[in-house]
Amino acid sequence: MADGFETGVDDDPDLSFEHTPSSDQSFENALAKARDGTRLTVDDAIELLTTGSETEGINSRRKEQVLEAADRRRSEVVGEEVTFVANLNNNVTTACDVGCLFCNFKDAAQRFESDHDGANGGFTKTPAQSREIVDDALDMGIYEVCSVSGLHPAFALDDEHRELLESLDDPDIQYTPPEAYDVDPGTYVEQIDAMSVDGVHVHSMTPEEAYHARRGTDWSYEEVYRRLRDAGLDSVPGTAAEILVPEVREAICPGKIGTEEWLTAMEAAANVGLDITATIMYGHVENEAHRAIHLQRVRELQDRTGAITEFVPLSFIHPETPLYRQGLVDGGASDDEDELMIAVSRLFLDNVEHLQSSWVKYGDEQGLKMLTCGADDFMGTILSEEITKRAGGDYGEIRTFDQYAELIESIGRVPVERSTDYRKRRKLDAGDAPLGPLLGPRADGTPLLDRANNTPPAADD
């Protein structure tokens, strides 16, 4: 198995961490560096995230100073535009046996087997079903389809990989032939090819999925991503990052790929010409030192590749997760922590131009606040969303163009429809409502839901 990959889940993980939120820096010096545009260190980030590591709690006056510095930096780097993309989430399957303690998206893969006796609230889609869903969404005007799925044991990269997996007799490989299941998900290549309809941008295959797509082989990540690129993959989402510090990953997701392998996979995707994004999932068991180290590793990755188009802070949604049910956390990040995470990301990541505020995680009111703390992107239309919803999120599954324009203009900013890579842009005006997308392969300006009888594609079709 690849280095950095472990199996098994600890119901009582060790939360006594080596890294603690303390530093030899002072808040005042860190803030001065942030205001001057000097490249920040991990100690600087700790001071800004804590508003001073010498005291408990967040100091409201200092917090506002950090937010003001970040908002000024945002204005200098990207101006007053707030972007969003017309996109669809098409998650292929909830079948997964990794067992991450922060996740309630997955369903035990055994429940999907044909001889399983019991209820199964999850789903698996065939490549043909994925193509139909994307095809319908293209008629609504989407530019992008984003697909992030569970690690179904029947998934192989392609026919060659399946043949190799079926020749092995190793239970650690975590492979079960598709004949054992009610629904065959096909291969990763078949799913990517199916979703690659009429020039839609396919944003898929996280490092974790890429690991699954090379298990049992000595193939490089470059080889995996090259085959996926040739099948129609356009860019890679930098999820499955969570916190890029081994002691945190060992506590919350011991079955996932390790920090170094995540970074290796992302660099490989960039090496074969794919754009990538990067994320952080924070607000659970980690502390501000872990968040700062994570930011440093993302910045170093961007120094090496230049391929990260956006950074996406993802606030932990706790209510339906094992971490919360087992009493390991009593909630998620506070509003103050969310705002500082956005702000320090803007100040620290001096080589990443775009920073996203997720209305799925924050809601509209707090999501707009993040746009005054350093963020400049407001996510996408989504049309269906399963991962956050299953974790207990309740902010909905769709935003229309009219809603976007009205929300963004309410804070005095300029709404802009964008392509996934930010290279295509189109300014909008709420006064021109009703508004619809124009950048997608079939978009003609018609409002999203008007061309679909006011019914978005179902997440579990």
Q: What is the mean pLDDT of residues 180-203?
A: 97
Least confident of 108-122, 229-243, 354-368, 402-416: 108-122
How sure is the predictor about 459, in pLDDT bands with cuts at 50, 70 and 90?
very low
User: How far is 338 from 314, CA to CA, in rounded Å?
Assistant: 9
Q: What is the pLDDT of residues 93-129, one digit of tens each?
A: 998 877 665 555 456 777 777 877 777 778 999 999 9
Judged against a pLDDT cut of 70, whether residue 397 lies above it is answered with: no
Q: What CA–CA distances, in Å, run from 220 to 2, 227, 271?
A: 10, 11, 12
- pLDDT at residue 271 in the model: 98
- pLDDT at residue 44 in the model: 98
Q: What percent of the chain has pLDDT over 90?
A: 74
- pLDDT at residue 268 in the model: 98
Average pLDDT, the chain: 89
* Cα radius of gyration rounded to whole Å, the chain: 21
Judged against a pLDDT cut of 70, whether residue 175 lies above it is answered with: yes
Q: What is the pLDDT of residues 51-86, one digit of tens each?
A: 999 999 999 999 999 999 999 999 999 999 999 999
| Burial per residue of 332-364, b for 16 or more beta-carbon CB atoms within 10 angstroms, e otherwise | bbeeebbbbbbbbbbbbbbebbbbbbbbbbbee
- pLDDT at residue 254 in the model: 85
- Angle at CA of residue 237, ends 236 and 240, nearest 5°: 125
Q: What is the mean pLDDT of residues 297-326?
A: 87
Q: What is the mean pLDDT of residues 388-392?
A: 39
Q: What is the mean pLDDT of residues 145-171?
A: 95
Q: What is the pLDDT of residues 337-377, one digit of tens each?
A: 999 999 999 999 999 999 999 988 888 999 999 999 999 99
State whether residue 181 is helix, strand or coil. strand
User: How far is 447 from 456, CA to CA, in rounded Å?
Assistant: 12
Judged against a pLDDT cut of 90, whether residue 25 lies above it is answered with: yes
Q: Residue written as tokens 């889609």? A: 125
- pLDDT at residue 110 in the model: 72
Q: What is the mean pLDDT of residues 151-167?
A: 96
Contact call for residues 431 and 401 (beta carbons, < 8 A): no
How sure is the predictor about 2, in pLDDT bands with cuts at 50, 70 and 90?
very low
User: How far is 274 from 408, CA to CA, in rounded Å?
Assistant: 30
Judged against a pLDDT cut of 80, whether residue 313 lies above it is answered with: yes
Residue type, 96: C
Judged against a pLDDT cut of 50, whether residue 8 lies above it is answered with: no
User: How far is 213 from 225, CA to CA, in rounded Å?
Assistant: 9
- pLDDT at residue 191 in the model: 98
Contact call for residues 257 and 250 (beta carbons, < 8 A): no
- pLDDT at residue 244 in the model: 97
Q: What is the mean pLDDT of residues 152-175?
A: 94
- Angle at CA of residue 43, ends 75 and 262, nearest 5°: 80
User: How far is 271 from 281, CA to CA, in rounded Å?
Assistant: 25
In sequence order, the β-bridge partners of residue 310 are 354
Q: What is the mean pLDDT of residues 20-42?
A: 97
- pLDDT at residue 384 in the model: 63
Judged against a pLDDT cut of 70, whether residue 396 lies above it is answered with: no
- Angle at CA of residue 237, ends 233 and 240, nearest 5°: 130
User: How far is 49 from 283, CA to CA, in rounded Å?
Assistant: 12
Q: What is the mean pLDDT of residues 236-245?
A: 95
Q: What is the mean pLDDT of residues 385-397?
A: 43
Judged against a pLDDT cut of 60, whether residue 6 lies above it is answered with: no
- pLDDT at residue 115 in the model: 77
Judged against a pLDDT cut of 60, whether residue 394 lies above it is answered with: no
- pLDDT at residue 107 in the model: 65
